[in-house]
Structure 1
Amino acid sequence: MYKQLYVIQEGKPELITIRNYSSEDMEGLIDVQRASFPPPFPEELWWNKEQLHEHVTRFPEGALCAIAGGRIIGSMTGLVVNMQQYGHNHNWSEVTDEGYIRNHDPQGDTLYVVDICVVPEYRKSGVGKWLMQSMYETVVQLGLSSLLGGGRMPGFSQYAHELSAQQYLDKVIAGQLKDPVITFLLRCGRVPVGIAEQYLEDEQSCNYAAIMQWKNPFIEKE
């Protein structure tokens, strides 16, 4: 994939490029992770070079990055799986092979999102939404049934003493609460289909995630 488009950065249009990342981009991708997921997010969950090598060799179509001014400002990674093997109450580690995607199944039916991140200064510019849209295009191109992935709920820890994870998600969907990740995914067209416990070591989300889906509109409903 390779495309150029404009996002609105600090009130002005800025040209960015979205393309598949390669082994030459590793340092820039790790820098994006460092900026995107500061503590208390566990440092060991940032990409390492071995993981990135697996991404670009096993499923390069699912390895996307966004570039502005010659700098990588965001990335998104996926793999193909057969979701019947996992169900909705899975965890990130098992479904992504701890981010190494060695379980990528070219015969699977679902593009599973391993990770999406955008450096803080570009988060309201539309970069994340365009990365998501580009991955939808990959789903359509490959004829897969859907895109699926766990959405962190970083606002949940503020309400965990009074709400269950499902109740919190319901309030976000009803517009009674806003969550920086779940609300973003809703804007991107993702729909919640379940809750996963112990999805990822994530203090802000109390280790929960909402399983969020986008269905390929060009696949006829059975």
Structure 2
Amino acid sequence: MTELDHPPPMLRLRVPEDVGEIRNLMVRVYPPPHGPEAIWSAENLRRHLAAFPEGQMVVEAGEHLVGTATTQRVSLAAALAPHTWSGITGHGSLSTHDPAGEALYGVNIAVDPAWQGRGIGRLLYEARIDLARRLGCRAFVAGARIPGYHRHAAEMSPEAYVDAVAAGRIFDPTLSKQLLVGFQVRGVLRNYAHDVETMGHAALIVMDL
């Protein structure tokens, strides 16, 4: 099948039958040196649907999933305060989901490497921004991975790196794209999550709605 033969990607809400393919997708997105903790467990994927079904999205192309995104609602104060990924997401279970939370929180987004650069991530972001507005949330907040940081960690702090990316002096494979979507950097979340590429740190990104 040539690239022109690929069916157009379609965004939809996640269903229980997607669990196995989502896990396979995440294996492709997070190969070693990422550890097995980077792959959602089937149990957690089912918990996400129980906690906040409208916040769990996938993109499919033909018979295959090529993207997935997980979100929850939290208080705006919690989203903007220093936090870790594990703490704010209940170790990835979404047990901390607050149905009245003023912030939509981006827990995870994953795009098949074979489909990266083809608008899948933007499709998932735009859908979640639309969801946040429909729910009346005041902001869309996330801890943005900074996978390019490990190449610069010897000569600059994560704060200096994030500032350089925000100013356009350094291109980061994740954060730079999120800034193009319309997010703004509000700080750095140190020791956010174990990640060899980010050295454990993330940028706190916010889109006011």
**TM norm structure 1:** 0.90
Deviation at 1:94, TM superposition (A): 0.3
What's 1:42 paired with? 35
Q: Does 1:107 align with 2:100?
A: yes
Unaligned runs of 5+ in 1: 1-8, 217-222
Cα distance 1:44–1:187, how it changes in 2: closer, same or farther (>3 A)?
same
- 2:52, 2:11 → 1: CA distance? 17
Asked if residue 116 in structure 1 is aligned to residue 103 in structure 2, the reply is no
Give the secondary structure class of the aligned counterpart of 2:95.
coil
Which one of the candidate residues 136, 147, 158 is aligned to 1:154? 147
Q: 2:8 is matched with which residue?
A: 15
> Take 2:83 and 2:187, find their aligned partners in 1: how far apart are those partners?
10
Gaps of at least 5 residues in structure 2 are none
Cα distance, 1:58 vs structure 2: 1.0
List structure 1 segments (4+ residues) > 6 angstroms apart after TM superposition. Answer: none
Q: Provide the identity percentage.
A: 30
Aligned partners of 1:135, 1:20: CA distance in 2, in Å? 11
* Aligned equivalent of 2:74, options 57, 71, 81: 81
Counterpart mapping for 1:1-222 below 5 A: 14-85=7-78, 87-216=80-209
Change (3 A) 1:51 1:11: same
CA distance in 2, matches of 1:19, 1:28: 14
Measure the CA separation in 2 of the matches of 1:198 and 1:205. 10
- Match of 2:8, SS state, is strand
Sort the Cα spacing of 1:177 and 1:109 in 2 relative to 1 into closer, same or farther, 3 A.
same
* Count of aligned residue pairs for this structure pair: 208
Per-residue deviation at 1:22? 1.1
8 Å Cα contact 1:59-1:79 kept in structure 2: yes
Query: Which residue of the partner structure matches residue 220 of structure 1?
Result: none
Please tell me the residue identity of whatever aligns with 1:61.
Answer: E
Aligned mates of 2:64, 2:111 — CA distance in 1:
12
Task: Tell me the CA shift for residue 158 of structure 1.
Answer: 0.9
Deviation string 1:196-222 (CA, Å, 9 cap, x unpaired) is 010000111111100111111xxxxxx
Would you say the 8 A contact 2:6–2:62 is kept in 1? Answer: no
C-alpha contact (below 8 Å) 2:76/2:139 kept by paired residues = no
Q: Is the 8 A contact 2:79 2:141 kept in 1?
A: no
Q: For 1:148 and 1:195, how far apart are their aligned partners in 2?
A: 13
- Give the drift of 1:14: 4.7
Q: CA deviation at 1:45?
A: 2.5
CA-CA distance at 1:13 after TM superposition: 8.0
Letter of the aligned partner of 2:11 in structure 1?
A: I
Q: Tell me which protein shows more strand as a share of its residues.
A: 1
The one-letter amino acid paired with 2:21 is: G
Letter in 2 for 1:152: R
Q: 1: CA distance between counterparts of 2:49 and 2:111?
A: 19
Distance in 1, matches of 2:172 and 2:79, equals: 26
**CA distance in 2 between partners of 1:67 and 1:189 (Å):** 25
CA distance in 2, matches of 1:31, 1:163: 35
